[in-house]
Copies of this chain bind each other. A is one copy, B any other.
Amino acid sequence: MSSKITIYDVARKADVSLATVSRVLNNPGRVKEKTRNRVLEVIKELGYRPNAIARGLASRRSTNVGLIVPTFSRASISEMTDGIADVADKYNYSVFLNVTHNERELQTDSWENMIASQVDGVLLASDQMSEEEVNRLLNETIPTVLLGSRDSQHRVPAVLIDYESASYEVTRKLIESGNRDIAFLTVKDEFEINKLKEAGYLKAIGESKLPPRILTFDDKFEVSIGEFNDFFANEKAPDAVVSIRDSIAIGFMNAAINSGLKVPEDLEVVGFQNTQYTLMSRPQLSTVSVPTYDIGAVAMRLLTKLMNNEEVMNEEVILNHSFIWRGSTKK
């Protein structure tokens, strides 16, 4: 009911023009204090709330940003979203959601929808982007920041960690503690990020002249659990494993323990991301800690700068990762 009040009502009651009301809202400094206070009072009295849509149309700025993600049912995406939402709030932006389920077509649709919604900027979390998509993105004038990934040419602003180094370093640590048969756990889908992690693993393994051992499982956790059991029933267990995801690491570890192995004595396990999952396994999971919340927060902050045409030092922000050692490794 109360939302029928417009800027006209305020202007009339405060006995000023609507331009003045608009000014106290947007450029309070340009209005005499006395007038300003009177207007402010009327606004409060009437419970006036400026219509963001009308404002958007007139100013050609929606103060909305779009968030495109493959799904929310992934801990990393959710945590990012909290970071995004907090910073967006601070800078008075609203966030528009779009879930693509990793389908190309939907990702394109989402994009079109965002543009049509007149968002001022876009945050994009994509597991895989084609050249074509990157180009489309580059051709729009609307600023975009990639969350936790980047395009191969580094042409799109992005916030992420150095996955390759992280994977390299953690593999090296496992080598240094004496492991020789170190496996890398990954999934069928060839997402760029996972390829980077794999590259880091291979680099460390190669430098030490150890035999690489890449184990590929199904993307769907329920399915891969079965595969883990098969693995331990039929193959020789490695000394240690690095996994692209915490969940896979835990599933693998559980299968190992159920098959009679001891963790970390017989098998050391390291995950990636430091999700809540790591605290639920027994033993708790050692992992590469990715600052997920910060990725979202920093990306949103970067986007605000881009939207305001502020000078940006570096369009690709690499955040620090770290390692968390828990019960699944010896250390």
Contact = CB atoms under 8 A, between A and B. Distances in A.
Interface in A21-51: 49-51
Listed residue (A49, A52, A280) with the most chain B CB atoms within 10 angstroms of its CB: A280
Interface string A300-311: 000000000000
A179 interface: no
A112 interface: yes
Interface stretch (A9-17, A53-61, A156-164, A191-199): A53-61
Contacts of A86: 99
B72 A1 contact: no
Given A82-B71, A140-B1, A50 B116 contact: yes
Interface string A267-291: 0000000001101111000000000
Contacts of A72: 72, 78-79, 81-82, 85
Interface string A233-253: 000000000000001001100
Nearest to A92: B113
A53 B56 CA distance: 7
Given A53-B53, A53-B62, A276 B94 contact: no
Interface residues of A, number: 58
A282 B279 contact: no
Interface string A124-142: 0000000000000001111
Contact of A281 (B50, B77, B247, B282): B282
Query: By CB atoms of chain B within 10 A, which of A98, A141, A142, A276 has the most?
Result: A276
A99 B82 contact: yes
Q: Which of A79, A99, A113, A254 has the most CB of B within 10 A?
A: A99
Contacts of A280: 247, 250-251, 254, 277, 280-281
A110 to B, nearest CB: 9
Contacts of A57: 51, 53-54, 57
A56 B96 CA distance: 15
A97 B95 contact: yes
A166 B140 CA distance: 51
Interface string A76-115: 0111011001100100001111110000000000001101
Contact of A51 (B89, B99, B116, B257): B116
A85 B66 CA distance: 13
Contact of A52 (B116, B142, B254): B116
4 nearest CB pairs, A to B:
A85-B99, A72-B78, A95-B97, A72-B81
Given A3-B115, A51-B118, 8 more contacts: A1-B141, A3-B141, A3-B142, A73-B276, A95-B97, A225-B279, A254-B282, A281-B282
